[in-house]
Amino acid sequence: MYDCSIDFAKMKSSLFDDKSRWFELSSNNAFLELLFSVPIYVSEQSGDTRRIIDIQLRKRCNELITTSANIVVGPMMNWVDTAEDELLKPDFDIKKHPDLSPAKVSELAKAAVRALTHAWPELCATYSLYIGVPETEAILLSPVRKRIADTFARAISFAARAYDDEGRSIAALPTVQHVYLLLNKE
């Protein structure tokens, strides 16, 4: 594997360091040296290609996991991130944030459960179609399941800290066990 890079060090030295030789009428002319020097430096990469491929594969798998989780619970995940950030502020008051109301989280939770019942089986079928190896599918879907369940767990935790009993009943968040039942249904 070759690594091409542009090295301007020679050009820089010809431009700035050798000003006295710019108009010299000899073979030691800095201007001619600048024109004819090749700035491209080619070197063989000393890194392990297997390690490079492993890093790229890991990066792409993480992107696939993130995208898959966003398909199912993306809006709810964004809401939970915002809600947790607001909850950490010292002057937090739930009444000042209409987007953090129990009705809003209930709406998002219902949409996420609908996505779990409809989009999740389609997502699993897509993994099965394109990957085709059950062990690999299980390895890739496991972190997606965990991220989805963690999103619901974080929403439940926020509801427990920010809402009263009435607010929690309005939010009507499913339990993490219920979410795992839906995830393992496939």
Model pLDDT for residues 104-152, shown as the tens digit of each residue: 999 999 999 999 999 999 999 999 999 889 999 999 999 999 999 999 9
HSE, side-chain direction, 13 A CA sphere, residue 102: 15
Q: In whole angstroms, give the CA distance from residue 83 to residue 162.
A: 9
Q: What is the pLDDT of residue 45?
A: 57
∠20-26-28 over CA atoms, to 5°?
60
Instruction: Report all structural domains of the chain as residue ranges with CATH numbers, in order of start.
Output: 2-44 (no CATH), 56-185 (1.20.1280)
Predicted confidence at residue 73, as pLDDT, reads 94
Decide if pLDDT at 34 tops 90.
no
